[in-house]
Chains A and B, each alone.
Chain A
Amino acid sequence: MAFSMFLRTSGCQSRMFTQQAMRLATQPAITQRMISSSLPIRNIMKDTKTTPILNAIRSFRTSCVRRSAEKVEDHSRLWVIERVVSAALVPLIPLALMMPNKLFDSLLAILITAHSFWGLEAIAVDYVRASIFGPILPKIAIGLVYLISIATLGGLFYIISHDVGIANGIRQFWAIRSDAQKS
C-alpha cells in the first residue's frame, strides 16, 4: 500500500517527499479513511514527542532522483578506462621487472599512479560521506587523494630520472641479503 501511494506521486521532489512520507507514516487508506486520518496528521505534526516514526522520516535525507532534464554525469567511460588500466598492469609489471628500461618505467609510473588514484578516490567517495563528516571534510579527503597521487607520480618520475629507475629499484630491494646469508 505504501508503494501504491508512491506510484501516485508525480515524480520525486524533496519537499513533496517529506509530506508524502508523513502521510505514509500515519498509514492512510486510499479510500474514505483518508478523511478520518487527516486529523491525526495535524495533531501529530504539532506534537512530535508522541510519534518518533515521523521524526525518523523527517530527519531522513535522501538525494532526489534526477529528472531527465538535468545534466547527467557520465561515469561509464571512466569505469572502462579504470578496468583497462588494471588489465594492462597485469602483464606490464612482470614485463617491466624483467626488462628494466626508461620507457617501461615511465609507463609503469603513470599506470600505477592512475590505478592507486582511482582506488583511493573510491575509498574516499564511499566512506568519507557528507552525512557524517559534514560538507567540508569530504572535499578535503578528495583533495588529499589528489595530493598523494601527484606526489607519488612526482616521486616515481624522480626515481626514473635521477635514480636507478623503478624496475631496478625493486630488483635491488630483492638483492638485499642479511648478514647471516652473506657468508
Chain B
Amino acid sequence: MPLLRLTTGTFGQLRTFATSASLAKRVKTFAVYRWNPDEPDKKPYTQNFEVDLDDCAPMVLDALLKIKNEVDPTLTFRRSCREGVCGSCAMNIDGVNTLACISHIDQNISKPTKIYPLPHMYVVKDLVPDLTNFYRQYQSIEPWLQRENEAVKGKETQLLQDVEDRVKLDGLYECVLCACCSTSCPSYWWNGDKYLGPAVLMQAYRWIIDSRDEATEKRLSKLKDTYSVYRCHTIMNCTRTCPKGLNPGRAIAQIKTLLSGIVKKQPPIMDPAGLQKQTASN
C-alpha cells in the first residue's frame, strides 16, 4: 500500500486507493463476562476486547476464537461444530440467547457487543454455564422409545411409521439441547429445580406423540404435578429465542391439552409392529 502512494506523484493520474479510510481498521469492541473459579473471591467483571472486523470472520464465535487465539488465551467458552447443530456455544449475545456460531457480529462499530453466559445459571468459568440440572431433567423424561413388548435381541424388525405420523415429529426432533430456551424462561429462572423448562418439555412431547411409542400414559402421568409442566404461563420467551427456529411454547401447550384429557393421542396410522407380525406369520 505505501509503495503505491510513492507513485501517485509520478503518474499524476494515478489516484491512491490506499486512502486513510481503508487503512484504518474497523474496530469493534466486545464486552465479555469474565469470572475465574481459581480466584473465586474476585467478583465477575466485564472485559473489553477490540477486534478488527475486516480481519475477522463474520460470526460472534469467530470473534471469540480470534480473541482467544490472539489476545487472551484464558477466555473460556464451549464450542464444537461451528455450524449451529451441536448446541455447545449457547450464550447471551446482546441480551439474546443464541448460538454464537450462527450469530452475525453487529457491524455497528459505535456500540460494543455484550457477551454474557446463559442467564440464571451457575457459571463454571467465563462463558461456561453448569448444565448439570438441565441434563438431569432431560434424563428424567426418559428420552427413548418405549414399547410394551421389547423385540427379542437379534430378531428386531423395523417399526413402521406413516408419513403423516412422521411429520408430527418435524419441529421437535431438530432440538440440539442448547438450553437457550430454558434459560430464557423466567419460570425456569425462579423454579428451575422443579419446573422442567421448555427444552426438556419439548423433548417429552416429542416422545409422547411419536406413533411408535407406547408409554404415553406413563409419560403423561410423570408430568401431572404442579411444577413439571404447569409453571409455564405462556411467556413465550422460549420460541422467540430458539436459534433453530423451533416452537417449544406450542409443544408445551400441546402437552397441557393432552394432560387435560380433552385431547387424546391418536392411534398410529400404520401399525408399528406390522412388519414384525408379518415376519412372525411367515
Contact = CB atoms under 8 A, between A and B. Distances in A.
Contacts of B37: 51-53
A122 B224 contact: no
Q: Choose among A17, A72, A75 the residue with the greatest number of B CB atoms under 10 Å from its CB.
A: A75
A125 B124 contact: no
A29 B228 CA distance: 32
Given A62-B133, A76-B259, A127 B230 contact: no
A65 interface: yes
Interface in B171-192: 187, 190-191
A56 interface: yes
Interface residues of B, number: 36
Given A53-B124, A75-B225, A126-B190, A3 B38 contact: no
A52 B221 contact: no
A12 B141 CA distance: 12
A162 B133 CA distance: 55
A66 to B, nearest CB: 8
B226 interface: yes
B265 interface: no
A15 to B, nearest CB: 14
B135 interface: yes
A63 interface: yes
Interface string B179-207: 00000000100110110000000000000
A72 B226 contact: no
A76 B261 contact: yes
Contacts of A129: 190-191
Contact of A126 (B122, B187, B224, B260): B187
B135 A76 contact: no
A71 to B, nearest CB: 10
B136 A76 contact: no
Given A2-B135, A3-B135, A56-B122, A63 B224 contact: no
Interface string B235-251: 00000000000000000
Contact of A6 (B135, B221, B261, B262): B135
A21 B132 contact: yes
B114 interface: no
B107 interface: no
A79 B177 CA distance: 28
Contact of B224 (A6, A57, A75): A75
Contacts of A80: 260-262
B203 to A, nearest CB: 13
Interface in A41-93: 50-53, 55-57, 60-63, 65-66, 68, 72-76, 79-80
B7 interface: no
A167 B182 CA distance: 44
Contacts of B222: 66, 68, 72
Contact of B136 (A12, A56, A72): A12
Nearest to A79: B230
Contacts of A120: none
15 contacts: A12-B140, A24-B132, A56-B123, A56-B124, A56-B130, A63-B193, A65-B136, A68-B221, A74-B225, A76-B224, A79-B256, A126-B187, A126-B191, A126-B231, A129-B191
Going nearest first, the 8 A-B pairs with the smallest beta carbon separation are A52-B40, A65-B140, A52-B37, A76-B259, A75-B226, A62-B193, A56-B122, A80-B260
Interface of A: 2-3, 6-7, 12, 17, 21, 24, 50-53, 55-57, 60-63, 65-66, 68, 72-76, 79-80, 122, 125-127, 129, 131
Given A3-B139, A74-B225, 16 more contacts: A2-B132, A3-B138, A21-B132, A24-B132, A53-B125, A57-B122, A60-B122, A60-B133, A62-B136, A62-B193, A68-B218, A68-B222, A73-B226, A74-B224, A76-B261, A80-B261
